Structure 1
Amino acid sequence: MTKIDIFSGFLGAGKTTLIKKLLTEAYKGEQVVLIENEFGEIGIDGGFLKEAGIEIREMNSGCICCSLVGDFGEALKEVIQKYSPDRIIIEPSGVGKLSDVIKAVQKVEGEVDIKLNSFTTVVDVTKCKMYMKNFGEFFSNQIEYAGTVILSRTDTPKATDDKVQAAVELIRSLNQTAAVITTPVEQLSGAKILDIMENNRSLEKELMEEETCPVCGGHHHDHHHHDHEHEHHHHHDHEECGCGHDHEHHHHHDHEECGCGHDHHHGHHHADEVFTSWGRETVKSFSREEIEQILNTLSTDESYGMILRAKGMVSSENGEWIYFDMVPGEADIRTGSPDYTGRLCVIGSKIDETKLAELFGI
């Protein structure tokens, strides 16, 4: 099975830099073939690729989106038959539509053993708004179809927090589910970037999977729903957790028994309380003291709702990253390596989302 990774992005967005990083840090030990289309672009240096043991197939017969039906499909099949690679990287022209490239790959899926593995779009944060205005159809398409969006130039003087956040919100207006990387890729390992591209696990999903059924110890698997402001709300219906019985999410139990002999009402969680989670992405920096104060407020001030859990990772003002994990009355705060963007998640009942946003200042 050959994995297909597609990297799109407008001219000069930083695709080449990203691919070179992945080739040296994440794809080592794999047989990799790069298919690139040089449409007025400077491709990855052939000498670099030879040193890395990478085969390269250039498509210089015009824009890749103009030759998708014939040449591209044949080129893909030829590459697989000749090299039997573990992975093929496709770097289409910056002016092509990502959806066209995906469709072109899908057309040959039945003929060769391939797997569409990831779709990543690189966006220059300083040009995002301008590109959206002037190249709406093509630019929007690259964002809409991406599984991961990487914001480049976020470490330049022009990239203020406000500008980065505005770019994230613009991207979120087109794509609710992609992982949006705002941390400069230089600060992330190639392995970390590849994991994000391939798995795109939200903080909410990780938290919900950590919460286990109090009766049997089994995990609940939640369904994710996204609203139009890129906050994430999860409402849990009756689900199986592994013990063979249907429970509602284990923070919302009736007084009745379900047949397994256990009373599923416990503590102070009542049947009319539906537990939800609130999540935000943020590029804002915090101090350790600010996080401590926020977590203390969540533990003691019931006006924010009945808080069961809070977890997150955010950048700090001194360049380090702060990781926190809180249950009422107890909080773990530590420093760690950069994550792909600042992320916050709060789980609880009757959450006041407006007040939570104000508390975190976002």
Structure 2
Amino acid sequence: MTKTNLITGFLGSGKTTTILHLLANKPSNEKWAVLVNEFGEVGIDGALLADSGALLKEIAGGCMCCVNGLPMQVGLNTLLRQAKPDRLLIEPTGLGHPKQILDMLTAEVYQPWIDLKATLCLLDARQLLDERAVNNDNFRDQLAAADIIVANKNDRATDESRRALADWQQQHAAGREIIQAEKGKIDVALLDNLRQNLRELPGSAEHSHSHAARRGLAALSLPAHQRWRRSINSGQGYVACGWIFDADTVFDTVGILEWARLAPVGRVKGVLRIAEGLVRINRQGDDLHIETQSVAPPDSRIELINSEETDWNSLQSTLLKLRLSL
């Protein structure tokens, strides 16, 4: 049986960073796999996890629990039966609802295959000050379903957000421990905690999406001779717009960082080729984290998520001008 953990959390809570930390600290004699899903179409998290050493399956452009979870079942079955990992980490989109996924993982058909351990939910305490997040069914139910709540980004917390977290814990999480963390650095041993939170969750009334195309994994690559493309996805009051560029496209380093910093959106994630190699960009609100490496990625991908429609054409026009001449 494969030990399995669901790693949930709302947009920008630090799920991918946490998974990267866990993979970097896994037992050396174990084979781990990750099943990752994104709200957008271009597969940023997959690019971020590509060099982690884990087996990886992506479900892009939607969520695991839509359409009776068929995309998830395909990815899950492939990993379990072909790869046979010692541990599987499942990262749903930040806008995903946990009920359908947990129902699937506990179904009788998977009992011979899956040893479901604790569900972890990443929380940026500052989100408790955001009415849009607090009033979102998925945000509330991700926390309600968690066996372990990780108050991530503790280094970014404010006095106000710490008070909000303490109040929230008293009202909604009495008896459940909240782990404080920075940059997703948590103890790998937490993954072996037993699943204890067996409360029945309602389905999310907000859980609906409008997808540009149901292309699944095919959405993660460019057709031959196409230099770039754009994909837009929307649902639950959020819009994602992403771009993927071919391996010959290189961006101006300073220009792309300024573009990402100033884009009038709430969320920016990207892995892009620059003259120096690659740059990873992760922005939530005003928090901007960048990381550079000398080894270039196989292509460039960047995605923006916002709570309202944005002038994507204007942003695209500026983005295209940041490409360096070959």
TM-score w.r.t. length of structure 2: 0.53
Q: For residue 177 of structure 2, what is the aligned residue in structure 1?
A: 179
How much does 1:14 deviate?
0.6
Per-residue deviation at 1:132?
6.6
Unmatched 5+ stretches in structure 1: 201-362
Give the 3 Å change call, closer, same or farther, for CA 171–197 of structure 1 in structure 2: farther
Which structure 2 residues correspond to residues 3-22 of structure 1 after superposition, within 5 A? 3-22=3-22
Is 1:58 the counterpart of 2:52? The answer is no
**Structure 1 residue 165: deviation in Å?**
3.5
The AA in structure 1 aligned to 2:107 is K
Cα distance in 1 for residues equivalent to 2:74 and 2:112: 11
Structure 1 pair 27/101, CA: closer, same or farther in 2 (3 Å)? farther
Q: Which one-letter code corresponds to 1:175 in the other structure?
A: A
Native 8 Å contact 1:8 1:94 kept in 2: yes
* Deviating more after overlay: 176-185 vs 29-38: 176-185
CA contact (8 A) 2:127 2:133 kept: no
Shift of 1:181: 1.3
Does the alignment pair 1:154 with 2:148?
no
Name the residue aligned to 2:311: none
Query: How far apart are 1:9 and its partner, in Å?
Result: 0.8
Q: Is the 8 A contact 2:7 2:121 kept in 1?
A: yes
1:195 aligns with 2:193: no
Which letter maps to 1:117? K
Counterpart secondary structure, 1:44: helix
Corresponding residue for residue 120 of structure 1: 120
SS of the equivalent of 1:118 reads: coil
Cα distance between partner residues in 2 of 1:68 and 1:171: 32
Q: How far apart in 1 are the matches of 2:76 and 2:49?
A: 22
Q: Deviations over 1:224-268 (max 9, x none)?
A: xxxxxxxxxxxxxxxxxxxxxxxxxxxxxxxxxxxxxxxxxxxxx
- Give the match for residue 360 of structure 1: none
Equivalenced residue count is 193
1:111 is displaced (CA, Å) by 5.5
Identity %: 25
Give how far 1:96 is off.
1.0
**2:166 alignment counterpart:** 168
- 1:139 maps to what in 2? 139
Cα displacement (A) at 1:115: 0.8
Alpha-carbon separation, structure 2, partners of 1:181 and 1:65: 27
* Structure 2 counterpart of 1:73, one-letter code: Q
Quote the Cα distance in structure 2 between the aligned partners of 1:127 and 1:47: 24
How far, CA to CA, are the matches of 2:84 and 2:129 in structure 1? Answer: 41
Corresponding residue number in structure 2 for 1:34 = 34
Name the counterpart of 1:77. 77
1:122-163 CA-to-partner distances (Å, cap 9, x unmatched) read 11111223157653321110111101111122212xx23453
The CA deviation string for residues 34-93 of structure 1, in whole angstroms up to 9 with x for no partner, is 11111138643547534x321110012522221444332233122111101101110001
**Which residue does 1:49 correspond to in 2?**
50
- The TM-score with structure 1 as length reference comes to 0.48
In 1, Cα distance between equivalents of 2:108 and 2:177: 27
Q: Is the 8 A contact 1:13 1:124 kept in 2?
A: yes
TM-aligned CA distance change 1:182 to 1:161, over 3 Å = farther
2:242 counterpart residue number: none
Measure the CA separation in 1 of the matches of 2:65 and 2:141. Answer: 13
Q: Tell me, in whole angstroms, the C-alpha distance in 2 between the residues paired with 1:73 and 1:83.
A: 15
Counterpart code for 2:139: F
Cα 1:163–1:194 change in 2 (3 A) is same
Structure 2: tracts of 5 or more residues without a match? 195-326
Letter in 2 for 1:167: L
Conserved? CA contact 1:143–1:171, under 8 Å: no
The answer on whether the counterparts of 2:17 and 2:183 sit within 8 Å (CA) in structure 1 is no
CA RMSD, 1 decimal: 2.6
CA distance in 2, matches of 1:43, 1:108: 33
Q: Deviations over 1:257-300 (max 9, x none)?
A: xxxxxxxxxxxxxxxxxxxxxxxxxxxxxxxxxxxxxxxxxxxx
Q: Supply the AA of the counterpart residue of 1:195.
A: A
